[in-house]
Amino acid sequence: MKIIYIDGHCNLCNGLIKYVYQRRPDIFRYGKTSLDNNLEYILYSRDGEIFKAEKAVLMIGRDMGGLEKGISQILSLIPNIIIRKIYFFISRNRYKIFGKKNICEISDDIPKDQQVGDL
């Protein structure tokens, strides 16, 4: 099973979920991270293996296939330290750049049968 976990407050994360769902509705399930997790991370669980942060984004792209897989493969050629710095710059500033929701939720566009419990 492939599950993408987001913090639910971040408009960027919710936008990512909408984007993924619209293009590949049958591949992924979606959940929220709990307050115990570092909320700077997007988490991706693929068949029990957990990917965090920039690695999660790259793996989601690969698993989407098509153009997203190609972009992910190109980004994988960039040294990890650079990708990681870009990821955490965006992550730390995501509320300023993209805004924040008052309630932790996954978009109403995602059917409840595609959602899983909190991680």
| Tens digits of residue pLDDT in 16-67 | 888 999 999 899 999 887 655 556 678 999 998 999 999 999 999 999 999 9
Alpha carbons 57 and 62: distance in angstroms, whole number: 9
pLDDT computed for residue 85 by the predictor: 94
Q: How many other CB atoms sit within 10 Å of the CB of residue 57? A: 20
pLDDT computed for residue 6 by the predictor: 86
Q: How many other CB atoms sit within 10 Å of the CB of residue 5? A: 26
* Percentage above 90 pLDDT, the chain: 49
pLDDT computed for residue 74 by the predictor: 96
Question: pTM to 2 decimals?
Answer: 0.86
Q: Could you tell me if 46 and 72 are in contact, meaning their C-beta atoms sit under 8 angstroms apart?
A: no
For the cut 60, the answer to whether the pLDDT of residue 93 exceeds it is yes
